[in-house]
Structure 1
């Protein structure tokens, strides 16, 4: 096996829960192979750097072994080198204000406050 589809490899090494999620991430432009946006059928080879944006953070991994089928977590860990930056601590992550259920639409003032909090001034 000299090459494997990128969506299949991402799913096999457990970076996504399902293969369809991996394919959707590729179609949305969230997967890059060696700096180039990848389609789901793009081929992965040993030594490639894969960048995946998922769950609010970027995962940077290097391919060390090719697998096409999903395997156990210990075997999957041997197939990649994780070079991802550590996730930010929970204190730093901005929490969005939670509206009470049934509170109706936010007022214009509340929307402006939320936009300010998110950094969309």
Structure 2
């Protein structure tokens, strides 16, 4: 499956065009190798790493989705390898008002 289609199908981005833009920035990695082509092929077992929404996401592909389904179905297609949940990332950042 194409990388841009995968990111869109599993609801990590809202549109396929946004997925293509994210990939073309050159910050996305597949199994540690930089990728800048939307048509790169992804398969189960591969690990994706990329910055998204003020944090770095590290995901292992578990399944290739057949469609862009509901969120629960999309989340079953990958495992988040980040040890901290999203709310913990916000707590770790220093508070600007305390300076």
Unaligned 5+ runs, structure 2: none
Which region of structure 1 is more displaced relative to structure 2, 49-58 or 78-87?
A: 78-87
Matches of 2:39 and 2:50 in 1, distance apart?
Answer: 15
* Structure 1 residue corresponding to 2:50, chosen from 33, 37, 52: 52
Distance change >3 Å, CA 94–CA 23, structure 1 → 2: farther
Larger helix percent:
2
Cα distance in 2 for residues equivalent to 1:40 and 1:69 = 18
Distance of 1:94 and 1:36 partners within structure 2: 34
- Cross-structure match for 1:78: 76
5+ residue gaps, structure 1: 96-121
State whether residues 8 and 69 of structure 1, in contact with CA within 8 Å, keep that contact through their aligned partners in structure 2. no
1:30 to 13, 27, 32: 27
- Number of residues paired by the alignment? 94
CA contact (8 A) 1:30 1:54 kept: no
Normalised by the length of structure 2, the TM-score is 0.82
For residues 11 and 93 of structure 1, the distance between their equivalents in structure 2, rounded to whole angstroms, comes to 32
Q: Does the residue aligned with 1:44 lie in a helix, a strand or coil?
A: coil
Cα distance between partner residues in 2 of 1:36 and 1:68: 26
